[in-house]
């Protein structure tokens, strides 16, 4: 073994710890992938030799695999992505929106949507999502806010929305689709966390079932597929009227994928689809049963599993996503994550109040038993103070946009102290308080005195400010 391989050594060392994985990728160590692991990964790592087709213009086995995926996920056409949903979000936004087009965007979108704005040159019409002050949790935009944004911006071309989010919360997608369709606008869905939804009737409806025009799904997050494996879909209703859109999607998909795509990743996309078609319903039944048991055990430990959580802007919650609010135990999510790590469990994510665990069809009953045992440590480490919702508020006001995301991204920046930033244009990266994690300023937006006061007030109440330099400076465009 060579000595100087920090990445290889770090990975092997981590794997040898044998942490129980409640995080992505959804295959959980390749448990459900016997067909793929009967050959070594290196053997399966092929290139476009005769008979193995070509992702850039598929005519053989890749085309067939994509067609099967379109059928399974109920789309008109499916494109395999070997650089995650990120590349699919970029492709669908570039295919749908031209420079200067207005696009409705919830302000808590994933950063890949921000990337899509930069690449396409489109202009965001930001909509503020709802915020649960008690739980310190940002949820979704309401249909009412979408209607209002359309009234104020009747020329907008469409909307990009997340379904479900990291916490498994799904917006009122069907209603939002109807509102957009009546106004001749396209619905693009970031369904990175939802490729499993379509395989079980008790789970929230998928973008396909809500008649989205385009959507992406990270197979690697919740299906037995390798990291970076994702699907980009075109909706059934798009094809008869909009053949140009299909051409555009094909063109941008080609542009944004490597000319040497990983056959391992593509094969895992084919495999995940086949697995879910054959076993998805039964495996999800079992997973939901394990989760019902787990939630009931955790409730007896005093852990809030957010069961029955509901708000008007939320249509349904994806029950496969396990979210544990441990604030009433006097612990922050960050502390909880560390306690569970010490007890041999690695979660996907934590925030000020919660732990988020990714559960998939690869999880077994004994894994949930181990999880419950590990969670007993949370109760015994109980902090001495209840973590209250700090009642952080979010301003509903959207700052004035002076430059498009593309212009702001290309602009030269300098770093200034916060108290010198009023009147300047935000550059570089989005800036905001965490929690709740919504940017107060996106690059290109005008920084105001009252906006800065709001930021500092949140900071005084204990929020961390993201997007600043280590010495707390903010990046602004050089005039």
Ligand X SMILES: Cc1ncc(COP(=O)(O)O)c(C=O)c1O
Minimum CB separation from ligand X for residue 453, in Å?
30
In the bound complex, what is the minimum distance in angstroms from residue 220's beta carbon to ligand X?
Answer: 6
SS3 state at 270: helix
CB of 398 to ligand X, least distance (A): 21
Rounded to the nearest whole angstrom, what is the least distance from the CB of residue 87 to ligand X in the complex?
7
Q: What is the rounded (10 degree) CA torsion for 32, 36, 42, 47?
A: -130
Of residues 219, 262, 271, the one with CA closest to residue 35? 271
Q: How far is the CB of 460 from ligand X (least distance, A)?
A: 30
Q: Based on CB atoms, which residue is closest to ligand X, 82 or 284?
A: 82
Q: What one-character-per-residue DSSP string does 117-128 give?
A: HHHH--EEEEEP
Question: In the complex, which residue's CB is closest to ligand X?
Answer: 84
Which residue lies nearer to ligand X by CB, 125 or 230?
230
Which CB atom, from 239 or from 258, has the smaller least distance to ligand X?
258
- How long is the chain? 479
Nearer to ligand X, 191 or 297 (CB): 191
Q: Smaller CB distance to ligand X: residue 298 or 322? A: 322
Specify the 3-state DSSP secondary structure of 396.
Answer: coil
Cα Dmax for the chain: 66
Q: Are 262 and 400 contacting, i.e. CB atoms less than 8 angstroms apart?
A: no
Query: Minimum Å distance from CB 183 to ligand X?
Result: 25
**For residue 171, what are the CA distances in angstroms to 9, 61, 167, 190, 212?**
42, 36, 12, 12, 13
CA angle 310, 313, 319 (to 5 degrees): 45
Q: Report the half-sphere exposure of 290 (CA within 13 A, side-chain side).
A: 23
Question: Cβ 356 to ligand X, closest distance in Å?
Answer: 11
**Rule CB under 6 A: which residues touch ligand X?**
84-86, 110, 112, 162, 166, 190, 192-193, 218, 230
Residue 201 half-sphere exposure toward CB, CA atoms < 13 A: 0
3-state secondary structure of 113: helix
Q: How far is the CB of 52 from ligand X (least distance, A)?
A: 24
Q: Considering the complex, state which of residue 166 and residue 368 has its C-beta at the smaller distance from ligand X.
A: 166
- The answer to whether 104 and 150 have CB atoms below 8 angstroms apart is yes
Nearer to ligand X, 110 or 211 (CB): 110
Q: Which is nearer to ligand X, 86 or 327 (CB)?
A: 86
Distance CA 77, CA 70 (A): 5
Of 140, 120, 251, 136, the C-alpha closest to 186 is: 120
As separate numbers, helices (DSSP H) first and strands (DSSP E) second, the chain gives 15, 20
With left for phi above 0 and alpha for psi between -120 and 50, is residue 37 left, alpha or beta? alpha
Cβ 327 vs Cβ 335: under 8 Å = no
Shortest Å, Cβ 166 to ligand X: 6
| CB of 75 or CB of 112, closer to ligand X | 112
């Amino acid at each position: 073994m060579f000595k100087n391989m920090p990445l290889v050594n770090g990975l092997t060392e981590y794997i040898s710890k044998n942490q129980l994985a409640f995080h992505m990728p959804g295959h959980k160590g390749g448990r459900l992938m016997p067909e793929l692991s009967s050959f070594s990964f290196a053997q399966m790592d092929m290139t476009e030799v005769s008979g193995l087709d070509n992702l850039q213009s598929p005519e053989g086995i890749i085309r067939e695999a994509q067609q099967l995926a379109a059928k399974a996920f109920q789309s008109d056409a499916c494109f395999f992505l070997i650089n995650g949903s990120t590349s699919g979000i970029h492709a669908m936004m570039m295919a749908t929106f031209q420079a200067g087009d207005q696009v409705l965007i919830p302000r808590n979108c994933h950063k890949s949507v921000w990337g899509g704005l930069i690449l396409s040159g489109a202009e965001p019409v930001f909509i503020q999502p709802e915020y649960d002050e008690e739980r310190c949790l940002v949820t979704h935009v309401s249909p009412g806010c979408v209607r209002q944004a359309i009234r104020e911006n009747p020329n907008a071309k469409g909307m990009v929305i997340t379904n479900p989010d990291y916490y498994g919360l799904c917006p009122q997608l069907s209603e939002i689709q109807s509102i957009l369709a009546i106004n001749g606008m396209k619905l693009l869905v970031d369904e990175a966390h939802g490729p499993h939804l379509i395989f079980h009737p008790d789970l929230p409806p998928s973008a396909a079932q809500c008649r989205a025009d385009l959507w992406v799904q990270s197979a690697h997050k919740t299906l037995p597929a390798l990291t970076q494996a994702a699907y980009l879909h075109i909706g059934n209703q798009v094809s008869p009227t909009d053949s140009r859109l299909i051409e555009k999607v094909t063109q941008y998909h080609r542009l944004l994928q490597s000319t040497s795509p990983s056959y391992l990743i593509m094969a895992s996309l084919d495999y995940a689809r086949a697995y879910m078609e054959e076993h998805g319903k039964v495996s999800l039944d079992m997973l939901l049963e394990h989760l019902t048991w787990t939630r009931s055990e955790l409730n007896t430990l005093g852990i809030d599993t957010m069961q029955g959580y509901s708000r008007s802007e939320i249509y349904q919650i994806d029950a496969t996503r396990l979210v544990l609010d441990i604030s009433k135990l006097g612990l922050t999510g960050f502390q909880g994550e560390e306690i569970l790590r010490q007890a041999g469990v690695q979660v996907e994510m934590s925030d000020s109040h919660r732990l988020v665990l990714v559960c998939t069809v690869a999880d077994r009953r004994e894994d949930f038993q181990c999880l419950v045992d590990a969670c007993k440590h949370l109760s015994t480490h109980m902090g001495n103070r209840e973590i209250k919702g700090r009642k952080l508020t979010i301003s509903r006001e959207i700052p004035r946009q002076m430059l498009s995301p593309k212009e702001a991204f290309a602009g030269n920046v300098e770093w200034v102290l916060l108290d010198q930033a009023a009147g300047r244009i935000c550059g570089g990266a989005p800036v905001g308080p965490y929690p709740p994690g919504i940017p107060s300023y996106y690059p290109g937006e005008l920084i105001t005195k009252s906006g800065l006061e709001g930021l500092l007030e949140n900071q005084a109440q204990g929020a961390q400010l993201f997007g600043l330099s280590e010495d707390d400076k903010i990046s602004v465009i050089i005039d």
